[in-house]
Structure 1
Amino acid sequence: MSNSDNEFERRVKSALDSGYFEPGDATRRQLVLQRARAFERQPFFSRLFATPGWVPATAFAACAVFAVVLFLANAPRPAPEQLALQDSETALEVLFVDEEHEEIGDPDFYVWLDAMLLEDEDETDAS
């Protein structure tokens, strides 16, 4: 190799090395802009909906809630008249037993009667 070839090789190597270790002005500007964009505070909803997977999941959840509400709204309920008849039947059954009615004067009897009526009501609601 000649002296001019060695000189050329040295200049090319130094130019490439300086370009590798020291980026140019245009590259520095791009890096600064990209870094600023990365650290920019984005609004909550744009960060939340940046992932496209949220939209189908949200739609599915809304449909599921809507279906549950419709199902529960259309569930059959006993009519108030039926509940009133059941309550009065239970009360009359307790009162017209052929035994002594000394418990009618006892306040605990009415607490027990309310508990029985609530229990009957819970059984009819469950079925």
Structure 2
Amino acid sequence: MPHLIVHTSGNLQGLDESWLLLQANRALMASGLFMDSDIKSRVVRCDSFRVGVDSHEDETHAFVAARLAVLSGREFSLREHLGLLLQKTLERCLAGFDHLQVQITVEVVEIESELYFKSVIGKQPQA
């Protein structure tokens, strides 16, 4: 834990998704709240999307919507800090997309610890 899912509009041509995830993972690691191997992140590119109702919106508008899921029990201030940390990280990663109006959102949600199940199978790292 945590799980980071980043949805992006398909018109963010040239977005280096791997680099964006690396920057987000680094920011989460820098918070000091997580172990490296516990951070799981992915990008879901949405080729079918719409912003608003104007038929030309997809030519000028884009979005990045991040959802960070953490186990329950963390203080509100820590969840708020993580949300703002990710927002600033995503803003830096998208600085080159000035030709679009990019809406960046971050949602921090809690998963009930009692209902989160995890297994690790396969090769384990050597000590």
Q: TM-score range by the shorter chain?
A: under 0.3
Please identify which structure carries the higher strand content: 2
Flag the structure with larger Rg. 1
- Higher fraction of helix: 1
TM-score (norm 2): 0.26
| TM-score in terms of structure 1 length | 0.26
